[in-house]
Structure 1
Amino acid sequence: MDMINILRTIRRLDQPAVLATIIGVEGHAYRKAGAAMLLPLSGDTVGTVSPGCIESDLLERVPSIWETNRYEIAEYNMDPDDDPIWGEAVGCGGVIRVLLEPIEGTLRTILTDALDLLDRGREVQLVRRLKGEVLCYELSAEEVIPLPSGQSGYDWQFSLHLTNRQRVILFGAGPDAVSIYQLLTQSSFHVIVADWRPRLLAAYPDAEHYLGTPGQLKEMLHLDTEAAVIVCSHHLRYDREMIEWALTSNSKYIGVMGSTKRIGMLFDGDAPPVNVKAPVGLSIGAEGPYEIAVSIAAELIALRYQWRNKQKADRQKEERHEPIRNIFGGRTEQPNGQAEAAARAFAGRSARQSGASCSLG
């Protein structure tokens, strides 16, 4: 979730910047539609939209976009048969359309409002609608699915679902947990470190952390069905208490580190429940703390997208039975594919397109 880092950077940003968002992909591409990147005038970027292929070109566009205070749409054709400059250099074979927007005025307000809602536990849709050369913004509480351009009154619509980071409780702050913390944090998880040993917690100065045994942590730390828990303190009694607490809280994922023998002791020889992964991580033959951390991060990344897809399917099922509720409006949208709408909207247009912005709120 580059977008969370981007939003937090925008909140404290004190210099001109441009937001680059992939709004359309045809064929093969490194990042999908919705991937975003913050391009401050200083050149200190946040996030990625490619493996480094188009970033330098995007950065060159930043000064003019900021000076004119108008958005721009850039198209990159990675097919060497169609575009020998980009295609030969990159070789991905796809077409990428990137929306570049100056971070000020309406857009800055919309993005900071979105972060405020995320910080309060809400999930929101950031909706962009194009009419002529005017780009309008809206925040919606529910998924907004675009109408065909001829029925909506807009040339194009792009909706981006924003959700907060998946919360992971890492119980056990020993040396083998450092790599787990680092990899999960770099993979956009919100990692909370807990341990009863102050000396071990000192290795995580930047982490949200709690000091205490599982019994004490219950007074300080909230566990719920959305939390993932990794148990790796290597203290048999405390690990068992943490597992029992996570089970009673119906945590969706409980990963337990340890050998088969130790796991058997933790569960009294019984098979672990379905929401418990013991031993934790994907079975990739990992050896040593770093490789084990890689297996854990890979497993949680895979599960995160499974959970998100399920949540999306559940939302769509609910929306078939009730109208969409907008945070800043009361319109209802009907189903249609936004990728097709984007393709129609930009078919035949030049690789550079610019215009002004407005708010639908």
Structure 2
Amino acid sequence: MKELEDIVKSYYAACRQGIKTALATVVHVEGSAYRQPGAKMLVTENGTLTGAISGGCLEGDALRKAQLVMMQQQPMLVTYDTNDEDDAKLGVGLGCNGIIHILLEPVNTEDPLNAVAMLEEIISHRAPAVLVTLFTLHRRKGPQPGTCLVLTANGKMHHCIPDQQLQNAIATDAHHALQSRSSFTKTYLSTGNDYTTHTSYIPPAPQLLVAGAGNDVIPLVKMAALLGWHTIVVDGRPGYATAARFPEATQVLMARPAQALSQLQTDQYTAAVLMTHNYNYDLALLAQLLPLPLAYIGVLGPVKKLQRMLDELAENNISITRQQRARIHGPAGLDLGAETAEEIALSVISEIKSVLSATAATSLREKTTAIHSREQQVILQQHL
């Protein structure tokens, strides 16, 4: 989500200067690649890049092609093949043993449904959304419509698909992607042009609620902000809960536990960390957090502290279900040997990221499968 937010911000900065832009999107990958389908990068005519479509090996060549796209105002599909000697001569040198298809599309500022306008629709709401990119995969000179549809969780849809039959099919698949929280690539076969879409499910940015405004919270908020997470700092001490101490935070609240949550909107993409170093404050807030559908609740400190809190909640007739208990992590963080505030912040952020991604936090060298899921590489087909 941070990538999309940065792209929208850079786009409007370019618009204010009258600078043309193009959007590059990874639409399909065969084999291994640094970035997966859906990754985006905004290119300006003066060479500014926002976002990324690779680890740096494709950006230079993509910039040159994007400048041609801006000049001609016509989308272009570009394919990079690591096994192609011509790519090696160009200096691309992917080294990923994969084939990467990139769609470059000019962004027309006069079009209210241009690609960046659709990205803006996604980031303007804290809710999941689906974005569809339409292209012709096996014919580079075939029609390349580009970003064509956005569907938000409230059912609001914007599209620019001229063919009604194709529009109906893509819209149906977009609703399926939103409900199943899945992304996929699909080709629609017809007697005319055979179009392929990449349908991306895009969850909202993670939201991090930190109870506590001590010095050890500062690096945690900085790391979360660097990742593009929306961070909220809550503390009952007026001298600590200030925007000056946490300039990277989305929101800073000076509130008691009973008042804090009434001012916030939490969801399944929200993680909370209790680190006030005030036992009673943490306990009171934990009691309020338990019924909420949070993805993660971290309790800083020894396991004995957490057990004491759970025992006191039980004594006060606050029952904890198995699902609620599974969301509580105490001591919070991964075992990284952390000692300093910065190292502890890294440990906690890493555990939260693992939970949000539903992955096991293990060394990549221990994996026996591909780093990224290959499900999106399978192209589904539908006859219209």
TM-score, reference length from structure 1: 0.76
Name the structure 2 match of 1:150: 189
The 1:43/1:182 distance shift into structure 2, 3 A limit, reads farther
CA RMSD of superposed structures (Å): 3.1
**Mapped partners of 1:203, 1:134: distance in 2:** 48
* 2:79 is aligned with 1:75: yes
Q: Deviations over 1:12-63 (max 9, x none)?
A: 5423222111112122211111111122234332222212112122222333
Task: Give 1:277 shift.
Answer: 0.4
The residue correspondences of 1:203-282 to structure 2 (distance < 5 A) are: 203-208=245-250, 209-268=252-311, 273-282=325-334
1:175 aligned partner: 215
> What are the superposed Cα offsets for residues 212-245 of structure 1, whole Å, 9 maximum, x if unpaired?
1212313322344442111111111111111111
Structure ranking higher on relative contact order (CA contacts 8 Å, 6+ apart): 1
Find the aligned partners of 1:149 and 1:232 in 2 and give their Cα distance.
52
**Deviation at residue 257 of structure 1 after TM alignment:** 0.9
Look up the equivalent residue of 2:291 and give its one-letter code.
Answer: T
Question: What letter is aligned with 2:326?
Answer: V
Partner of 2:29 in structure 1?
Answer: 25
- The CA deviation at 1:297 is 1.9
Cα distance in 2, alignment partners of residues 229 and 151 from structure 1: 49
- Identify the residue that residue 304 of structure 1 maps to in structure 2: 356
* Aligned partners of 1:157 and 1:342 also within 8 Å: no
Query: Does the C-alpha gap of structure 1 residues 341 and 261 become closer, same or farther in structure 2, counting only changes over 3 Å?
Result: closer
Gaps of 5+ in 1: 308-336, 344-361
CA 1:287–1:241 in structure 2 vs 1: closer, same or farther (change >3 Å)? same
Q: CA offsets, 1:51-90, max 9 Å, x none? A: 2112122222333221211112222222376743368844
Label 1:253 to 1:154 Cα distance change in 2 as closer, same or farther (>3 A): same
Q: Please state whether the residue corresponding to 2:80 is helix, strand or coil.
A: strand
Equivalent pairs counted in the alignment come to 314
Q: Does residue 337 of structure 2 align to residue 285 of structure 1?
A: yes
Q: Report the Cα distance in structure 2 between the residues aligned to 1:169 and 1:342, rounded to whole angstroms.
A: 40
**What is the aligned partner in structure 2 of residue 116 from structure 1?**
121
Q: What amino acid is the match of 1:236?
A: Y
Structure 2 Cα separation of the partners of residues 16 and 40 of structure 1: 6
Match of 2:104 in 1: 100
Is 1:166 aligned to 2:189, yes or no?
no
The answer to whether the 8 Å contact 1:172/1:232 transfers is yes
Out of 150, 158, 165, the position equivalent to 1:139 is 150
Q: How far apart in 1 are the matches of 2:330 and 2:90? A: 47
* 2:8 corresponds to 1:7: yes
Distance change in 2, residues 1:108/1:53 (3 Å): farther
Runs of 4+ in 1 over 6 A off after TM superposition: 269-272
Structure-2 change in CA distance of 1:4 and 1:88 (3 Å): closer
Answer whether contact 1:4 1:164 (CA < 8 A) is retained: no
**TM-superposed deviation, 1:276:** 0.3
Question: Could you report, residue by residue, the CA deviation over 1:1-20 in whole angstroms, capped at 9, with x for unpaired residues?
Answer: 32233234435542322211
Compute the displacement of 1:110 (Å).
Answer: 4.8
Distance 2:239 2:187 in 1: 60
2:52 corresponds to: 48
* TM-score, with structure 2 as normaliser: 0.71
The 1:171/1:11 distance shift into structure 2, 3 A limit, reads farther
Indicate conservation of the 8 Å contact 1:25/1:96, yes or no: yes
**Tell me, which stretches of 5 or more residues in structure 2 are unaligned?**
137-141, 153-174, 178-183, 315-319, 360-374
Match of 1:359 in 2: none
